[in-house]
Structure 1
């Protein structure tokens, strides 16, 4: 793991140098060196550590950093279902006032909080995962080309479907989740232009409860399977567990997200996880903390794409080894621009 991370960080150094030269952000960290353990604030999205998906990927990056980098003291707090935006502001402010630096926000829902708090604490370093719109000289945006990874999921679904009928379930209709849908649809149509694609969102764009409603996700997936879909891709956080249960009941396939969910899902349903689109949030968080330790943090956007290994697919269970050569070919075509994937 450590060797892979070091190699990844070496590639990122080149990307950052190009970003700075291009004038696209990249202000150098100016925080004064501090003595004692690094005090890291980690604010999770709904579900927190233990969601076996998005938040756990960020937690894994922090855990790796604690093992392999300098002495760290980490304070972890998580969002509550249905909480007002002001609560996130209070949470981030409390960490900054308590002297935590850096503060890492997991998820786009923290954008308003960082936009409000970061300017008031200019010597504190902030990072936010999956949110490009909030910016500042002390804010780093850790982003992923999720549409590229989802394109591969769509291609996989189309190649493995026997009915030519597949589905997509999103936790909410936010721009972030829409990127997954857009990439998935492009991948399906690239392989099978005549495929039927069923799409459902559990809540609206501002309602985060859709990421912890496995009952609602299960019902949405059941309707898709009953209607003829035999592969469903879920981008729904903890709600994805409901999709896996529905797939098990239907004798069909489901596709996981963010994490290798054939390893993290309930053992009773792991055999229905065809593959997972992984986002290396762990690598992004680790890299960011390594830069903090080295005093080389830059502000602005860092995009982890297929070329840098920031998004990829899993082979656990051996269900897609037969189509792996085709997926690898598609991956290379995307990396070298022969296949264009629109983010939406």
Structure 2
């Protein structure tokens, strides 16, 4: 999976006027010599490092950017990655990159949608992109890349059903109702594609955003424990939400000998021995490397300004976890992924998008 490091910039693209005091970007990449001044220049503003899951996604984007010259066929002359210390700085950093003359400026996450929609008309010569989000009314020089999450969730649900012939599967969610409906519907359909009679549980673990991490972890742990202790052997649960819900479900799995499915990122990077990493069956991850490569291709060649990624576009991957339960289902799970990609199974909601 792509990775790593940036900045190849010609003198003409090096920063001139810096942002105002207090708004200096956190630049995560050094400058290195660049080829002659031609080709595309790419600037990327990551999500603020306030949530570990967002940071893991940012690491993937950063790693892809660092080797962008290797993953696409076009001439990328310069790449620069910035990381805002907090959300309020995102717009300033996007404007900074546009002022510096970058021809493609991207940001990661739905929280950046308003900044992209506001800034794109102010910089008509710059191409803007929102990664992992959608623009309600995209300006002519803006595009977005999002995932058909129902497809990835379908595979996760299938994995949960395949791993046991008698157990249950389901989601422990810290996401408000409505926000995760496509994930829930896809997961349930995938589980019942494998076993029509499998119990599929949907347990809420929602807490106020201002509560301490320990409180959020405990809430998720209690929600998962209630399912693990419900009397069905070897349940497999997928946490949906932030780092706290992942850790809470992991701790419950370790105590109850259950299994954990990761969603969107590889959750083995969020867990350790004390928080259930050995109980991770695997993770359905979003391919940010694929997304960024498609964005750059589109910037060169034109094309769809609302890119949707699924299995057919190599938008998801299943990353096996440490649990030995994965081995016996690996071949069957690959068959399910192939069937989704080839549209031999009906994934609810896919045809409407």
Q: What SS does the corresponding residue of 2:175 show, helix, strand or coil?
A: coil
Q: Using the alignment, how far apart are the partners of 2:131 and 2:77 within structure 1? A: 22
Deviates more, 1:141-150 or 1:102-111: 102-111
**Gapped runs of 5+ residues in structure 1?**
3-32, 81-85
Q: Deviations over 1:197-221 (max 9, x none)?
A: 22134449xx8779x7444433332
Instruction: Specify the alignment match of 1:242 in structure 2.
Output: 248
User: Structure 1's 278 and 131: CA in aligned 2 closer, same or farther, altered over 3 A?
Assistant: same
Contact in 1 for aligned 2:153/2:187 (Cα 8 Å): yes
Contact in 2 for aligned 1:139/1:300 (Cα 8 Å): yes
Which of residues 128, 131, 142 in structure 2 aligns to 1:129?
Answer: 131
Query: Does the alignment pair 1:335 with 2:335?
Result: no
Q: Normalized per residue, which structure has more helix?
A: 1
Q: Deviations over 1:284-324 (max 9, x none)?
A: 124424655xx335451222211222113123435322122
**Gapped runs of 5+ residues in structure 2?**
3-35
Q: Deviations over 1:148-187 (max 9, x none)?
A: 1211111111121355322202342376632221110101
Q: What SS does the corresponding residue of 2:143 show, helix, strand or coil?
A: strand
Instruction: Specify the alignment match of 1:267 in structure 2.
Output: 272
CA-atom RMSD in angstroms: 3.4
Higher Cα Rg, which structure? 2
Q: Using the alignment, how far apart are the partners of 2:277 and 2:254 within structure 1? A: 9
Which of residues 193, 200, 203 in structure 1 aligns to 2:203?
Answer: 200
Aligned residues: 303
TM-score norm. by structure 2 comes to: 0.72
Instruction: Specify the alignment match of 2:171 in structure 1.
Output: 168
Instruction: Specify the alignment match of 1:63 in structure 2.
Output: 66
User: Structure 1's 258 and 338: CA in aligned 2 closer, same or farther, altered over 3 A?
Assistant: same
Query: Does the alignment pair 1:113 with 2:120?
Result: no
Q: What SS does the corresponding residue of 1:104 show, helix, strand or coil?
A: strand
Q: Using the alignment, how far apart are the partners of 1:286 and 1:159 within structure 2? A: 33
Q: Using the alignment, how far apart are the partners of 2:53 and 2:163 within structure 1? A: 30
Cα shift at 1:341: 0.1
